[in-house]
Amino acid sequence: MAEEVLILGAARTPVGRLNGALASVSAPELAAVAMKEAARQSGVTTRDITEVYLGCAFGAGLGTNPARKAAEQAGIAPIAAATMAGGRSAGLQAVVLGIRALCGRGPARLASMTDMGERRQLAVTDSLVMAGGMDSSSSSPFLIPDARRGSRLGHARMLDSVSSDAGLPSQSEDQLVLVRQVQVLLESHRRCMATTPAREIAPVEVRGRKGMEKVTRDEGTHAWEPNSMPSSAPPADGAAVVLLARDERARELKASPVGRILAACAGDPPLGPDSGPPWADPDLKAVEVAEDWPPAAVRWMRHYLPRVSIRLNAHGGGLGRGAPAGASGAISLVELISTLRELKGGKGICVAGTWGDDAAAVCIEVFPPA
């Protein structure tokens, strides 16, 4: 892309199991924790942030525009806030939307804001965009479809919004794919259990038996056996965001960027050896594939498995840590940034979703430490 979009900060919450340590915290509250941490890392104030784009797959009961609620809880008064209900890739799709907005290809790029009685105009170069995803499977309600009309006779049907809104295809019946899925799952679980908390994880305060406690690391999923492998990553609670800005705005704020965006794609990403740069860059150091649906994860991974120099899902993925559906793509992006920081900088790709319109991908470069 011609315009340079920089990453000023990246943060995520720990991932909690369904009805686990984060069960009492709503999705907007989790997102607010991540946004505060991303702003703190970048050195900018939440007051400077002008736009918020968040994915949220399970929005039932959260009210109108949960992204704006999350922003307000983080101390942000955005001009624009949008919630994307894009299924399992919603978090990464929201990041792509934020990137496009900064490049002038998103929503209306000239807006007004009333700030302490002063009205000012905001152009694209002034924007600071917070983008990512959030979800709380534990807080997602059960639904009674016939309740409004009244169930006059017989049993009333109840739907679990987590299952009904997950939007996953059926399990693959290809035996080779199934075998590979088992391998991916077990390796993902092993890596998640071996990973120490990254600096990108923002602790979440919850009320415990002895008062307020801090959750500082992923709970992780249970150890799956090959004969009981789930058809998708277990539902979970969590949020993740990245703070984006044009290079001019970053210089104005005297912010030290973490890295930059090289490319972004909503829809089937152009992966594989025949794709053009930067997707097939020989200098790629790391790839993160969201593991929400194993057949898709295996499909994306096969492009990079032969390249032993690439770190693929270095800290495990959704199959090992659990997948907050609307946040899993954004969590994978934050994990990619963490991995590239460990490698002292470099290029990497993050992919999320199943395929087709539900997929999204972002290619980034993390700068070497100063």
Question: What is residue 310's predicted lDDT score, i.e. its pLDDT?
Answer: 84
The answer to whether residue 161 is domain-embedded is: no
Give the number of other CB atoms < 10 A from CB of residue 141: 13
Total domains in the fold of the chain: 1
Distance CA 107, CA 96 (A): 13
Residue 303 structural domain: 5-139+186-366
Per-residue pLDDT at 200: 84
361 occurs within a structural domain: yes
Asked whether residue 162 is domain-assigned, the answer is no
| 134 lies in some domain | yes
Per run of 10 residues, the mean pLDDT along the chain (length 370 residues) is 83 95 96 97 92 94 94 92 88 95 60 36 69 96 86 82 70 58 74 74 90 90 56 88 95 94 85 72 89 78 73 87 92 96 95 78 93
| Strand-pair category, 346-352 with 284-289 | parallel
- Which pairs from 299-308 meet CB under 8 Å and 24+ separation? 299/355, 300/271, 300/351, 301/184, 303/271, 303/272, 303/273
Tell whether 172 is covered by a domain. Answer: no
Query: Would 167 be classed as within a structural domain?
Result: no
Backbone angles phi, psi at 41, to 5 degrees: -60, -40
Residue 263 resides in a domain: yes
CATH code where residue 271 lies: 3.40.47.10
Query: pLDDT value at position 118?
Result: 37
